[in-house]
Amino acid sequence: MEAMTEQALSKKNVLEFIREYFNTVVPFNILVGLHVTKMTPEVVEVHTAMRKELIGNTVQKILHGGVVSTLLDVASGLVAMAQSIEKLDDLTPENVEIHLKNVGTIDLRIDYLLPGRGEEFTAYAYVIRHGKKVVVSRMELENEKGDQLAVGTGTYIVG
């Protein structure tokens, strides 16, 4: 592994800070019980375990569609943020804060492929359009068996 520059180290710290913030401060993330388990400019992973409160269909015991969209939305928003941080030249706290405040979801499309059955759910997001103003990401949701339950696309304003 090559030595990281101070800038690269700092960027890694910023991403780690955001990850912690999303896991321990954002109220709805806590309510849902989701955990951002990985956050790099290449990929973001968001995980949740099945529990009774997340059920949308009590007969078939499947995940509520709103939980699916929440997991995909969080993962794709964070990968847009990570891209935005990655492109920053000047990593002062003020500059980071301004850039994060400017990140906003424009639109989201979710394709539900299979009923949300399983014990563990992981959303993955990666960037397919790297723009200065707009980032587009692609998302996938899998259960613990690797079944692809949903895919999606998100468009974000950045910068």
Sites of contact with its own copies (CB under 8 A): 25-32, 52-60, 64-67, 69-71, 73-74, 77, 101, 104-113, 115, 128-129, 131, 133-134, 136, 138, 148, 151, 153, 155, 157
Buried b (16+ CB within 10 A) or exposed e, 88-109: beeeeeeebeebeeebeeeebe
| Beta-carbon count within 10 A of 130 CB | 14
C-beta closer to its own copies: residue 15 or 72: 72
Q: How far is the CB of 98 from its own copies (least distance, A)?
A: 12
Judged by CB, which is closer to its own copies: 12, or 117?
A: 117
Cα distances (Å, whole numbers) of residue 4 to 8, 44, 123: 6, 21, 28
Question: Least distance in Å: CB of 70 to its own copies?
Answer: 3
Rounded-to-integer distance, Cα 44 and Cα 36, Å: 7
Rounded distance between C-alpha atoms, residue 59 and residue 127, angstroms:
37
Choice between 12 and 45, CB closer to its own copies: 45
Residue where the block lists tokens 């850039």: 99
Considering beta carbons, is residue 35 or 138 the nearer one to its own copies? Answer: 138
Least distance (Å) from its own copies to the CB of residue 37? 17
**Cβ of residue 9: shortest distance to its own copies, in angstroms?**
26
